[in-house]
Copies of this chain bind each other. A is one copy, B any other.
């Protein structure tokens, strides 16, 4: 089916761009000399995962137990669950291990480490390190690090698998130079933690880092064994804003119909609102043209931005498009379609249960495949 005949709103995935983004990251990571463990929390798709692990060592990262289960069911066994585990989820984790998952859990807490060690299940566990984002994780020079390592190492059926950190504060950076500094902080924190664990006599085979920005711009990955970027596969307007992707590399758009004109107010409405685009306003961090409202309005056929338009506000199923110059109402009659590049693709894609895949770069034409997603928890 021609994408122009799809019911709206719906997702269009440009496979040529996806593949190019995947190839570029594989090459980048190869040059860095580390393993690539792509994070699938953005795409949540087994079809995308197969492309992302192709040529790499085959492991992935997930953020929910449902993702872990879904990817296991789709044949991917080497899975790191990169959110701090709670004891009540251990039975579910063990059932995945029993079904063949090489699952790595994460903790930053001695009590939880004790619960894992005392559970009786065969668990591999990473210790989360706070490298400066100050979200979850222990500080690399903290006594808690060695306390947790000791508990896990002493667990009869527990394997201390290493350390993991996430430099989420790269998203607060506004230049490549700032990201380079954060990426080095990230590396240094993970390596310091690993060194301390080893000096204490414990194993630490895995040293895992990596957001998309820090992997893109890191100067040095000495001591790091793997990286976990994810959003690079699709890209979005926030990634364009911080310079990890160009607009021509954003692989996902929301196809939407113009549903109303308000010519007197220089406004039109689309059937992509707060649910279809998400209410993420990450691009508000950028000044001027880089703040695209709730997404960048692009031409149906070329996926090029339509100059001067922005999604200024959203209701549940209505998006308001306006601009500083007169809108091209005659080119965009009611019933015509445009495509919206999302602000934050992880949030936007989560509203949909599938991708309409097209092959051509800049994507127009036939849908060649429909790929599923696993949402929820």
Contact = CB atoms under 8 A, between A and B. Distances in A.
Interface of A: 5, 7-10, 41, 63-65, 83-89, 92, 108-109, 111-112, 115, 134-136, 168, 257-262, 265, 269, 271, 274-276, 278-281, 315-318, 320, 333-335, 346-347, 350-353, 375-377
A7 B65 contact: yes
B281 A279 contact: yes
A352 B353 CA distance: 12
A252 to B, nearest CB: 16
Given A109-B260, A257-B86, A279-B347, A136 B376 contact: no
A135 to B, nearest CB: 6
Contacts of A134: 262, 265
Contacts of A276: 377
Given A63-B316, A88-B335, A136-B259, 17 more contacts: A7-B89, A7-B92, A8-B86, A8-B377, A41-B317, A83-B318, A84-B259, A86-B258, A111-B334, A111-B335, A115-B335, A136-B262, A136-B269, A275-B346, A279-B347, A350-B351, A351-B376
Contact of A135 (B269, B274, B335): B269
Contacts of A334: 84, 86, 109, 111-112
Contact of A83 (B63, B85, B317, B377): B317
Nearest to A279: B279
A156 to B, nearest CB: 21
Nearest to A9: B377
28 contacts: A5-B88, A7-B92, A8-B86, A63-B316, A63-B317, A83-B259, A86-B334, A88-B257, A89-B257, A108-B260, A109-B334, A111-B333, A134-B262, A135-B269, A135-B315, A135-B318, A136-B259, A136-B269, A136-B318, A168-B315, A274-B280, A274-B347, A275-B346, A279-B279, A279-B280, A279-B281, A350-B351, A351-B375
Contacts of A350: 275, 351
A7 B135 contact: no
Given A135-B315, A260-B108, A335 B86 contact: yes
B261 A109 contact: yes
* Overall SS of chain A's interface: loop
A352 B351 CA distance: 10
Q: How many copies of the shown chain assemble into the complex?
A: 2
Contact of A316 (B315, B347, B353, B375): B347
A269 to B, nearest CB: 6
B316 A269 contact: no
Contacts of A275: 346-347, 350
A168 to B, nearest CB: 7
Given A108-B260, A351-B375, A271 B83 contact: yes
A249 B92 CA distance: 34
A84 B279 CA distance: 21
Contacts of A5: 88
Contacts of A111: 333-335
Contacts of A10: 377
B376 A353 contact: yes
B7 A84 contact: no
A260 B376 contact: no
Contacts of A168: 315
A351 B374 CA distance: 11
Contacts of A109: 260-261, 334
A88 B351 contact: no
Which 5 pairs show the lowest CB-CB distances between chains A and B?
A: A136-B260, A86-B335, A84-B259, A63-B317, A279-B279
